[in-house]
Amino acid sequence: EEEEDYMSDLFIKQDVRPGLPMVRRVKDAILKEEKQKEANEKNRQKSIKEEEKERRDLVLKSALGSENKGFALLQKMGYKSGQALGKSGEGIVEPIPLNIKTGRSGIGHEELKKRKAEEKLENYRQKLHMKKQANEQAADQFRIRFKNKQEERKMEGDLRKSQRACQQLDMQKDIDVPKEAWYWLEPEEEDKNDEEDKEDECTSSDLTVSEKLHILTAYLREHHFYCIWCGTTYEDSEDLSSNCPGDSAADHD
């Protein structure tokens, strides 16, 4: 009778939980498979490299005997097995290990390969460092631009505030025309066909917001004794210099 396949459903469906007795046929099949694997491993033909490695390991593990010419010369000079080399016994005890080269690459190829890998890693680290520095610089520049933009907007607000105050104070003194066209806030709808207005516009456009603010605040302090940051009109210049902290927003902070 032909033997049944131990991988068939008949055997797979058997309850083989730990502690339960196994079917004899299953046990025999498993033992047979293990023996077949052992036989295949023994009968497998070893490669030349494997045979060389086994012979080399066997020779390296075995100690040198008196048949070795070098060992025989050492014995004639008084050397004993297990003794350190040197006149005072300060030398090595074990032989220098062999570095067997099994690959087909030329001499120095491994060192070159290692050096290239280290250079590649170093270049990668430098790129990461440069990228990090670039990101930090970009973030710093963004913060500076954002801060400058905020300061510029604040100065524009202070300038408009100064222009509004200048117009009111000038009109209180019956001044119908500002000293400079940009001293007052410009109307939303204004006829700009006049050549003189165009010249004033060109002149004022040459000044920055900071310069305009400095000039206008100085005008308000000198002619009206008024400080936009204090929001106060003083009696005279002496009262202004005594009670007002300064002529800039930083002095009032």
User: Residues near 246 by Cβ (< 8 Å), separated by ≥ 6?
Assistant: 252
- pLDDT tens sequence across 108-141: 788 888 999 999 999 999 999 999 999 999 999 9
d(CA 138, CA 78): 76
Is residue 71 a part of any domain in this protein?
no
- pLDDT tens sequence across 185-236: 877 544 444 555 545 544 445 788 888 888 988 898 888 888 888 888 888 8
pLDDT exceeds cutoff 80 at 160 = yes
Domain encompassing residue 166 = 155-186+207-251
Is residue 161 a part of any domain in this protein?
yes
Is residue 86 a part of any domain in this protein?
no
How many domains does the chain fold into?
Answer: 1
Indicate if the alpha-carbon torsion angle 102, 103, 104, 110 is positive or negative.
negative
- Kindly state the percentage of the chain with pLDDT values over 90: 13
d(CA 224, CA 236): 8
- pLDDT tens sequence across 71-85: 888 888 887 777 887
Is residue 73 a part of any domain in this protein?
no
pLDDT exceeds cutoff 60 at 168 = yes
Is residue 70 a part of any domain in this protein?
no
User: Which of 51-60, 93-102, 219-228 ranks highest by mean pLDDT?
Assistant: 219-228
Please state, in angstroms and as integers, the Cα–Cα distance from residue 247 to each residue in 142, 164, 212, 233, following that order.
Answer: 30, 18, 14, 13
pLDDT score of 121: 94
